[in-house]
Amino acid sequence: MTAPPPGTTAPLDVWIDTDPSIGIPCHEADDGFALIQAFHSLELRIRGISVSYGNAPLAKTARIARGIVEQFGGPAGVSPARVFAGSPSRPDLGDATAATKALRAALEARPLTYLALAPLTNLATLLTLHPELARRVERIIFVGARTPGRRFTVGRWNPYEFTDGNYHKDNRAAGVVLRAGIPLTLTPVELALHLPLRPAELRWIGQEGGAAGQFLARQANLWMWLWRLGFLTGGGMIFDSFAVLAATHPHLLETERRFVTQHHALDWGAPEEHHKYLLASKSPLGRKPAREAEFCYAPKPEARAVILERLAGKPYPG
């Protein structure tokens, strides 16, 4: 465990909403990294974890989330009893779940910051059923949005473009959340592209990071291989880690105020499904109503060592 920086006061109360698929072949591993990073961050008091569909169906993400918490959540004070299944799909928005009931109880007890590492269906359901609780959410940190015109590609000669997954999978939920007026920090996909996790760093985590590090290195080995050889990148993208970093070390992210707009383009040359954009622009776009948010556009150089320290639970020597 890593001690909080000198001069810090009480830990930040957080709720984590996540869709882990680490260990499933050809699926993302980043939620698994983010959870262990959060468990090793004493700046956070994790009040609960809700599970979303997203990277995999809910039955799988819930099983993986409970497994990670059962093995590694203890030192952070999180037990599997604090892991709650949410909506199984986006049409279920508005139907109460174990996740929304537990989040409601947590918010009624005390305000918190919501780390949104998955589609926003669970939070949108809570805000639909209990709009009065919006004022108890102090901030949302969401892994989503994009700079207008920015292409989401990685590696050399790679024509494949990502979707902005968490927004794309439930844009209606994102609309509900945006309209609630809760302070919002965005840690977008393009932020993570600056700082891939290198193969040597994953090996170090496996060697030095105890049981949790061994778990990550073992479960993410194929994931790393796919990023390296499938996309010719320098490493694997740990998108969700930056939302945890925004909660623990916001000063390590370059941030600016932006205007956020939902934009759904019609493009007859491609499936409409691929043209749902959550745009974060430096000035308002057209006459569309836009709300403002803190947009994290680049990590500072020191961010790499801090993320590695939190993944391994010990200082990174590199």
Site of interaction with Ca ion (CB under 5 A) = 19, 31, 117-118, 240
CA-to-CA distance for 290 and 281, rounded, in angstroms?
Answer: 10
Beta bridge partners of 281: 259
Check: CB of residue 244 under 8 Å from CB of residue 38: yes
DSSP symbol at 244: H
Q: How far apart are CB 179 and Ca ion at their closest, in Å? A: 23
Residue with smaller CB distance to Ca ion, 32 or 204 = 32
Q: How far apart are CB 127 and Ca ion at their closest, in Å? A: 20
Residue with smaller CB distance to Ca ion, 129 or 222 = 222
Q: How far apart are CB 158 and Ca ion at their closest, in Å? A: 21
Residue with smaller CB distance to Ca ion, 44 or 118 = 118
How far apart are the two ends of the chain, measured CA to CA in Å? 19
Q: How far apart are CB 65 and Ca ion at their closest, in Å? A: 11
DSSP symbol at 76: G
CA-to-CA distance for 106 and 99, rounded, in angstroms?
Answer: 10
CA-to-CA distance for 152 and 44, rounded, in angstroms?
Answer: 31
Residue with smaller CB distance to Ca ion, 64 or 154 = 64
Q: How far apart are CB 189 and Ca ion at their closest, in Å? A: 11
Residue with smaller CB distance to Ca ion, 118 or 145 = 118
CA-to-CA distance for 82 and 78, rounded, in angstroms?
Answer: 6
Residue 3: CB atoms within 10 Å:
8
Number of H helices, E strands in the chain: 13, 9
CA Rg, the chain, in Å? 18
Residue with smaller CB distance to Ca ion, 31 or 309 = 31
CA-to-CA distance for 155 and 231, rounded, in angstroms?
Answer: 5
CA-to-CA distance for 37 and 22, rounded, in angstroms?
Answer: 14
Q: How far apart are CB 252 and Ca ion at their closest, in Å? A: 20
CB-nearest residue to Ca ion: 117
Residue with smaller CB distance to Ca ion, 240 or 294 = 240
CA-to-CA distance for 269 and 210, rounded, in angstroms?
Answer: 50
Cα-flanking dihedrals φ and ψ of residue 193, to 5°? -65, -20
Looking only at the bridges linking them, the beta strands covering 253-264 and 291-299 are antiparallel
Q: How far apart are CB 18 and Ca ion at their closest, in Å? A: 6
Residue with smaller CB distance to Ca ion, 31 or 170 = 31
CA-to-CA distance for 232 and 155, rounded, in angstroms?
Answer: 5
Q: Record the tokens describing residue 239, joined without a space.
A: 């998108």
Residue with smaller CB distance to Ca ion, 118 or 290 = 118
